Amino acid sequence: MAENYSKVGVGEGARTELHEALHLTGAEVSINVLPAGASVPFMHAHRNNEEIYGILEGEGAAEIDGERVPLAAGDWLRVSPAAKRRFFASERSAIKYVCIQVKANSLEEFTASDAIIG
pLDDT at 118: 85
Q: For residues 115 and 117, what is the distance between their CA atoms, to the nearest angstrom? A: 6
Domain boundaries defined on the chain? 15-104
Q: What are phi and psi of 111, to 5 degrees?
A: 45, -115
pLDDT at 107: 85
**15-104 falls under which CATH superfamily?**
Jelly Rolls (2.60.120.10)
Per-block mean pLDDT, blocks of 10 residues, the chain (118 long) = 81 82 91 96 96 98 98 98 97 96 88 82
Sign of CA dihedral 70, 67, 106, 42: negative
